[in-house]
Structure 1
Amino acid sequence: MSNPIEATWLSAIEQRLPKTLEVDPDLDLRLVCGTDQAGQPMFCSISSLKPAIPELSDAVDVTRTQRSIDGHWVLLLTLKAPRFTDVFVQLCAHIVDRVSETSSEAQGLAAFIASVEEWRTLLRAPASQRLSLEAARGLFGELWVGFSNLVPDCSIRHVMDAWRGPFQSDQDFQFPGGPLIEVKTVHSHARRIQISSENQLNRLPDERLFVCVVAADDAMTETPGALTIPALLDRTDRLLQDAGVAQSELVKRLAELRFDRTDDVYADMHFLPTGVRYLEVAESFPRIEPSMLPAGVNRVSYSLDLADLAPFECDYSQLGLPTAELKVSSNES
């Protein structure tokens, strides 16, 4: 799209004046931009061929009509959400660039539809982008245990390296030569915990494995002691900075979880931690292990009643956490 046309179009949008502008009369596919009678930004193609109707988003109304005056078809994009004006104009400029590379009306229409599809695919947010309430509660529990309970008794450098939950490890924290810790975050009135696979409570003979059950209830903003995930992340940032540990390790884990800490929904999601229990997965601990399953059976999930796990409860001091700082290699100094 030429700069003079784009500048005139933006001026019409700003003034909310009805106006139409031919983008480039030399194109094989006619393209028109402007504003409709309500002052909304619009962009359309006019062709003798019947175009397909592309999908875009709820912010843009897509319509196809046939003109009675000459039988030509109009494919019209109308922006309904003013806050996306800049993005809409960029989309239309992209369409113009693609159409200008074609040499027939049919090719131009194909380029128009392809351009819209490219943008729709690019900007479509994955359904798993935002964590569910229960997934957020789980992340809250991991952060609260790791960076509010294990630290400072265990160095934050050790804890960050051991935090493997975001990478789909069998246990949330795996300390080399130390304990394995699986965190389960539930409501304070929960009577059971969910085990996601036969590997989650599986350990080698020389390993010590613990289940940490965190009680964290939904809370109002003003509830004393209530915290949010962003607040825990801010605290973790400060701990990492004070210890001279690269914050890129935290960023890497949040990226694996596809967690956007700037999303306002998490700032309004408060949890009140009310208690924590440590359970040692001893030999007699009730669980399903891989060796118990017939060939071809895997990814078995099951629940455990907390009342039946009381005999395995232990103190925090029995975890056997490493306390010495990891040695800093010469290329990190």
Structure 2
Amino acid sequence: MNPWDGIPAPQNKQDVNSILFSDVEFPDGVSIEWIKLYDSSVGISVFFNEYRGDLITLPSFKVLDVGFRRHARKNKTCVQIVLRDDDMHELFFRLCLDLADSIAGGAQSNVLHRIVDRLEEWKRLLSVAQKKLSKRQQKGLIGELAFLKEILLVEMGPLAAAKIWTGPTGSSRDFTKGLTFFEVKSNRGAQERSVIISSENQLTTSAEEELFLCVIGINEDPMNGLSLDSIVEDVRDAFVQDPQALAYLNNLLTLAGYSDLFDYSDTKWVKESFRYYYVDVGFPKIVPSSIPVEISEVSYRLDLSHLDEYELDEAAIRARIDAKHV
């Protein structure tokens, strides 16, 4: 849906053409309009009873113009938000819907504060998630979320499980529990018996550390699969009883590049079974000490069909996860 398609651009620079926001019931005295400017820029205007409170500074954005003014003709206060990046129409539309829902859920007296709160949240999200995750990135995130929800959450509880998901924070390990690490890789399951190791450091451990490799088969399936949005919502539901853990999870999702402001419903995924491997001293891998100092940032394909002696069952992995040691 693009509500701006039916709005012509005005002929004069000072004019704004608009249509009313429909299908949402706002508090008395509040209205929202979809707007189009002279240069065909699109946006929304939020009108509410004249504001006479303390001066409020609206958040600033690189891709949005946000203005606050008194609309003399309507005897209203107006906040106008205009998109300045044509590549972000889909994202901006979702922002507008989110803002409208927030305003609809409150009273007329606090409309401006609700607008500021939501804009601040948008700004935080946009600072991390500037573009939609690629399919490869979606698969990687789905794999980590599956391990988090189906293994760690069950064994450790929500807050402890969320705290050891260290990949989104910039750590070289996906999950860190003391000196025990879990690296999660996604492939096409039975259709693919290999994974890509992205650097010479990824499977490197010291004598005191232990590392486990978890491989999850994930494939596109438009008929039977779930979108990334649905998968994230399912994980959030599993954390909802612990508000602190849910907040921690949501922050990690943002750091991982996921934003509710993007729509991932066009791609559906199905998950196959997990496979686990113990990366001990003899496990085949490339490590920094095995390559010349002039060579770095090495990636390679690891063939899983020759790693039966290192494979573990799920019970062995669960036995290594103990919340009291976190």
The TM-score with structure 1 as length reference comes to 0.60
Decide whether the 8 Å contact of 1:158 with 1:325 is kept in 2: no
Q: Secondary structure at the match of 1:33?
A: coil
Q: Structure 1 unaligned runs (5+)? A: 1-13, 21-31, 41-59, 61-76, 95-117, 328-333
Give the residue type in structure 2 aligned to 1:295.
V
Residue of structure 1 in register with 2:257 after alignment: 258
Deviation per residue, 1:241-286 (Å, 9 max, x gap): 324533221122122123112422x233221111110011121111
Residue of structure 1 in register with 2:182 after alignment: 181
Distance 1:255 1:316 in 2: 29
Distance 2:7 2:151 in 1: 57
- Relative to structure 1, is the Cα distance of residues 280 and 86 closer, same or farther in structure 2, using a 3 angstrom cutoff? same
Q: Secondary structure at the match of 1:144?
A: helix
- Relative to structure 1, is the Cα distance of residues 230 and 326 closer, same or farther in structure 2, using a 3 angstrom cutoff? farther
Decide whether the 8 Å contact of 2:195 with 2:304 is kept in 1: yes
Residue of structure 2 in register with 1:172 after alignment: 174
Residue of structure 2 in register with 1:208 after alignment: 210
Alignment of 1:73-92 (within 5 A): 78-80=38-40, 84=43, 86=45
Among the aligned pairs, what percent are the same residue?
A: 26
Deviation per residue, 1:195-242 (Å, 9 max, x gap): 11111101111222111010011012x41xx33332332233233232
Distance 1:251 1:176 in 2: 23
Residue of structure 2 in register with 1:229 after alignment: 228
Decide whether the 8 Å contact of 1:196 with 1:301 is kept in 2: yes
Decide whether the 8 Å contact of 1:209 with 1:281 is kept in 2: yes
Decide whether the 8 Å contact of 1:158 with 1:175 is kept in 2: no
Decide whether the 8 Å contact of 2:158 with 2:245 is kept in 1: no
- Relative to structure 1, is the Cα distance of residues 34 and 144 closer, same or farther in structure 2, using a 3 angstrom cutoff? same
- Relative to structure 1, is the Cα distance of residues 255 and 324 closer, same or farther in structure 2, using a 3 angstrom cutoff? closer
Residue among 139, 157, 165 paired with 2:141: 139
Decide whether the 8 Å contact of 1:157 with 1:326 is kept in 2: no
1:170 positional shift: 1.7
Q: Structure 2 unaligned runs (5+)? A: 1-5, 19-35, 47-63, 69-82, 90-125
Residue of structure 2 in register with 1:293 after alignment: 291
Decide whether the 8 Å contact of 2:9 with 2:39 is kept in 1: no
The TM-score with structure 2 as length reference comes to 0.61
Aligned length: 234
Residue among 217, 220, 229 paired with 1:218: 220
Distance 1:17 1:323 in 2: 62
- Relative to structure 1, is the Cα distance of residues 214 and 93 closer, same or farther in structure 2, using a 3 angstrom cutoff? closer
Q: Secondary structure at the match of 1:158?
A: helix
Distance 1:91 1:245 in 2: 34
RMSD: 3.7
Q: Secondary structure at the match of 1:84?
A: strand
Give the residue type in structure 2 aligned to 1:239.
A
Distance 1:15 1:267 in 2: 27
Residue of structure 1 in register with 2:312 after alignment: 314
Decide whether the 8 Å contact of 1:129 with 1:259 is kept in 2: no
- Relative to structure 1, is the Cα distance of residues 253 and 309 closer, same or farther in structure 2, using a 3 angstrom cutoff? same
Distance 1:173 1:322 in 2: 11
Decide whether the 8 Å contact of 2:9 with 2:38 is kept in 1: no
Distance 1:269 1:138 in 2: 14
Decide whether the 8 Å contact of 2:14 with 2:38 is kept in 1: no
Decide whether the 8 Å contact of 2:10 with 2:38 is kept in 1: no
Alignment of 1:1-333 (within 5 A): 20=12, 32-34=13-15, 78-80=38-40, 84=43, 86=45, 129-177=131-179, 179-188=180-189, 189-220=191-222, 222-223=223-224, 226-243=225-242, 245-264=244-263, 266-319=264-317, 320-324=319-323
